[in-house]
């Protein structure tokens, strides 16, 4: 009888384990479907013809659905595998969300609903997207990476081609983003907006695709696919130039320098060169790539300025002012930051001493400033801070800034430890690192990562997910 009871208990435990495995498998599949669908939704929101069709009630339904399902997936994870706690440095992100919650409560008299929505979206990025590579093993993570990048590259390639045709034909017009908001499209104000929401937002995605294409070019073996990725990179580079985005150009340069430095490091590790030779090769490579980058950019920009002439648009463009065709009229010597300096200083000066500690909350800031100074620059223009880092200070105060800086610092230390080990870095790790660093720099001039529901934020947190997963392997190997 005792032996029979023992076997019965073992059988029950096996059933429980099997049920748990089935549940986690269902969760993983649901998460994958959600992530891919959410990615496509964010992708569509950057393309004006599609975003207009999805505006209004449709967008409200879709947005609410993704927010609701995302919240359910987070709760389900909390009750089972708790992946959001397993990713490295995730405790800092939890602290950050707590800080956002506290400032939202303190400033709740100026609004509640929008701040709750923002907190939900922040949780989705930091707990679902950031934990993806912890949830899945390296191979599955790479497959998911390939699926998302393939979708992005194909859709963006088609959109960029259409936009370049608009530039060649010198087509510029206004199109509705919603029933009340009009957006510049085609070639407008000496910049290629194309069919995108904004040339800066579009250019930064094109930049990321260039790095992804280089990664895929190096990893695939089929000649046809190599050609496809090469063509994709070239087409995206053309858009980066025609977009006229100075910020993205700086990010792109920083990304290229970092990419070259990491691959030179891999070569030196492979060849087992001395530290002295390693440093010399790094410095030499950085100088050469800097000169090449500047020369290729200037040459490409000059050549592209004559593209409308070659395409037969002599009536709209002539050789006399072809060189001026890509010169931005909104950038002047006394306003090189394009009003950002005014926006940043206005926001910072508007804070009272006690508000520097915890901030004004993500979605109540403008309402708060309107009551304080109705005739102020921010109240009149309704401009957001136009910088992720200024927004961190304004929305969450010094507390939020310290948390994010500590998150970056700890990640940076882990990256240095990984780079310091004499083993080759895999291509996806290098690509993720380059994309993440480029987007961190991009955040200096744009509000597009921490408090925005965008595809840029998705790419950043997914790249960080792979970086942290790879960094954690340092400690796993050290404990073996």
**pLDDT higher than 60, residue 84:** yes
pTM value > 0.85: yes
Residue 382 has a pLDDT of 85
b/e burial code for range 15-26 (CB count within 10 A of at least 16 → b): eeeeeeeeebee
- Quick one: pLDDT at residue 387? 94
Q: What is the DSSP letter of 454?
A: S
CB 163 within 8 A of CB 239: yes
- Please, are residues 357 and 397 in contact by the beta-carbon 8 Å criterion? yes
In the chain the first and final C-alpha atoms are separated, in Å, by 43
Q: Find how far residue 335's CA is from the centre of its chain.
A: 27
Give residue 55's pLDDT.
Answer: 87
Q: Give yes or no for residue 331 having a pLDDT over 80.
A: no
Structure-model confidence comparison of residues 479 and 215, the more confident one = 215
In this model, does residue 356 exceed pLDDT 70? yes
In this predicted model, what pLDDT tens digit does every residue of 11-61 receive, in sequence order? Answer: 555 554 444 455 568 888 899 999 999 999 999 999 999 999 988 899 999
Q: Which of 43-47, 357-361, 382-386 has the lowest mean pLDDT?
A: 382-386
Tell me which of 382 and 23 has the higher pLDDT: 382
For 288-328, write each residue's pLDDT tens digit. Answer: 999 999 999 999 999 999 888 776 655 555 555 566 788 87
pLDDT at res. 323: 63
Confidence of residue 330 (pLDDT cuts 50, 70, 90): low
Beta-bridged to residue 186, according to DSSP, are: 172, 194
Asked whether residue 102 carries a pLDDT value surpassing 90, the answer given is: yes
Q: How far apart are CA 269 and CA 263, in angstroms?
A: 10
Per-residue pLDDT, averaged over 50-79, amounts to 92
The reported pLDDT for the residue numbered 346 is: 87
Cα 354 to Cα 103, 250, 324, 428: the distances in Å are: 12, 35, 49, 44
Q: What's residue 209's pLDDT?
A: 97
Contact 164, 239 (CB under 8 A): yes
pLDDT > 90: what percent of the chain?
A: 62
pLDDT at 121 over 80: yes
Gyration radius from the chain CA atoms: 25
Determine the Cα–Cα distance for residues 455 and 209; give it in Å rounded to an integer. 12
Residue 454 main-chain phi, psi, to 5 deg:
-135, 165
Task: Give the pLDDT of residue 18.
Answer: 46
Which pLDDT does position 17 carry in this prediction?
42
Residue 336 pLDDT? 64
Q: What is the pLDDT of residue 16?
A: 44
Q: Is the pLDDT of residue 478 over 60?
A: no
Confidence band of 358 (pLDDT split at 50, 70, 90): very high
The residue ranking higher by pLDDT, 222 or 334, is 222
Mean predicted confidence (pLDDT) in 97-125 = 93
Residue 184: in which H helix or E strand, if any? strand 182-188
Picking from 78, 177, 170, 65, the residue whose alpha carbon sits closest to that of residue 131 is: 78
Q: Could you read off the pLDDT of 387-429 as tens digits, one per residue?
A: 999 999 999 999 999 999 999 999 999 999 999 888 899 999 9
Note every long-range contact of 168-171, with CB atoms under 8 Å and residues 24 or more positions apart, other chains counting: 168/307, 168/308, 168/311, 168/313, 169/308, 169/311, 169/313, 170/308, 170/313, 170/316, 170/317
Mean pLDDT of 118-124: 95
């Amino acid at each position: 009888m005792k032996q029979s009871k023992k076997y019965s208990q073992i059988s029950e435990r096996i059933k429980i384990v099997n049920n748990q495995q089935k549940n986690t498998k269902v969760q993983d599949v649901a998460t994958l479907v959600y992530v891919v669908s959410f990615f496509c939704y964010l992708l569509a929101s950057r393309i004006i013809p599609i975003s207009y069709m999805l505006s209004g009630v449709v967008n409200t339904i879709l947005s609410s659905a993704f927010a609701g399902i995302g919240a359910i997936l987070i709760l389900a994870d909390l009750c089972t595998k708790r992946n959001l706690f397993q990713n490295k440095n995730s405790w800092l992100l939890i602290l950050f969300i707590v800080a956002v919650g506290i400032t939202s409560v303190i400033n709740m008299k100026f609004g509640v609903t929008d701040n709750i929505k923002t907190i939900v979206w922040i949780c989705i990025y930091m707990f679902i997207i950031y934990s993806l590579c912890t949830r899945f093993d390296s191979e599955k993570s790479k497959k998911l990476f390939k699926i998302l990048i393939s979708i992005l590259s194909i859709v963006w390639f088609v959109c960029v081609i259409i936009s370049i045709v608009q530039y060649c034909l010198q087509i510029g017009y206004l199109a509705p983003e919603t029933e009340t908001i009009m957006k510049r499209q085609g070639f407008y104000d000496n910049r290629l907006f194309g069919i995108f929401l904004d040339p800066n937002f579009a250019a930064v995605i094109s930049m990321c695709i260039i790095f992804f294409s280089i990664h895929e070019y190096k990893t695939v073996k089929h000649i046809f696919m190599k050609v496809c990725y090469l063509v994709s990179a070239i087409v995206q580079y053309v858009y980066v130039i025609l977009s006229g985005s100075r910020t993205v150009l700086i990010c792109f340069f920083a990304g290229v320098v970092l990419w070259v430095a990491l691959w030179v490091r891999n070569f030196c590790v492979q060849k087992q060169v001395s530290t002295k030779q390693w440093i010399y090769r790094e410095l030499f490579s950085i100088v050469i790539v800097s000169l090449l980058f500047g020369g290729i950019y200037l040459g490409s920009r000059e050549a592209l300025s004559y593209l409308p002439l070659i395409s037969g648009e002599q009536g709209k463009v002539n050789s006399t002012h072809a060189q001026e065709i890509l010169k931005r009229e909104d950038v002047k010597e006394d306003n090189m930051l394009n009003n950002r300096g005014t926006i940043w200083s206005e926001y910072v000066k508007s804070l009272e001493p006690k508000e520097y500690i915890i901030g004004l909350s993500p979605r109540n800031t403008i309402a708060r400033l309107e009551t304080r100074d109705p005739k102020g620059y921010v109240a009149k223009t309704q401009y957001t801070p136009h910088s992720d880092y200024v927004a961190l200070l304004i929305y969450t105060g010094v507390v939020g800034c310290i948390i994010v800086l500590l998150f970056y610092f700890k990640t940076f230390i882990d990256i240095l430890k990984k780079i310091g080990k004499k083993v080759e870095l895999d291509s996806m790790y290098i690509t993720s690192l380059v994309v993440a660093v480029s987007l961190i720099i991009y955040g200096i001039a744009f509000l597009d990562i921490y408090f925005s529901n965008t595809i840029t934020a998705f790419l950043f947190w997914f790249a960080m997910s792979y970086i942290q997963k790879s960094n954690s392997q340092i400690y796993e190997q050290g404990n073996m």
